[in-house]
Amino acid sequence: MIKSQTTDDFGIWSTIGVEKSIGKKWEINGELEFRGRENMNEVGRWAIKIGGDYKIIKNIKLGVAYQFQYFNDLEYTDFQPRHRLIGSMQGKQKWKRFTFSLRERVQGTYKDDSDRIKSSGKIDTYKMDPEWTWKNRLKVSYDIPKCKFTPSASIETFYQLNNPDGNEFDALRYTLSLAYKIDKKNKLNLSGIYDHEMNVKEPTDKYIMELGYVYSF
């Protein structure tokens, strides 16, 4: 286990999403994303994602997605393209006014290290490239009677799948959210996120405010 002094960071994330239902089982979706970091003094990344979900039974769906990232590698002041492949399974269950959902996700991120040139002239390659991660999220939301606001809370774990030094959990993420349904097609979401890194050389605790908008049709 790696132990090191933890630093704090604040960032603002924002997303714009679109969802399209096709019949009763299929859905296609897309998302634009911006992430700020270093107390909003630096761009973390820009990203665009496209994907689709298929409902295999009433409360369980499978999903696949591709995401292109323009990532800011602060160590080398390098904006680099990254490609991420995502596969997921999600189930949900209602109990009274509560909805519980569990999402399992595996993602592989392919990185570009061509501009990470050390003083020796060699490329400083990433230890994991592609980097494979298993993400597990448990979420509970509450339906307030006759109200357009829906509060929710979630906890998510991040587990390495191909670390040559041994796989470990490397992050925990806690999220409190409040969704506002404008109408049948438009929804806003405001979240507060605490992201705690673990078992890394220079861990950072991130405090994040996330603003999201989704258009569904």
Per-run averaged pLDDT (10 residues), the chain, 217 residues: 74 98 96 97 97 96 98 94 98 97 98 95 96 98 97 98 96 98 97 94 94 97
pTM for this prediction: 0.93
Output the pLDDT for position 1: 46
Output the pLDDT for position 209: 98
List the chain domain ranges.
7-216
CATH tag, 7-216: 2.40.160.40
Output the pLDDT for position 44: 97
Count of beta carbons in the 10 Å neighbourhood of residue 27: 18
Output the pLDDT for position 2: 46
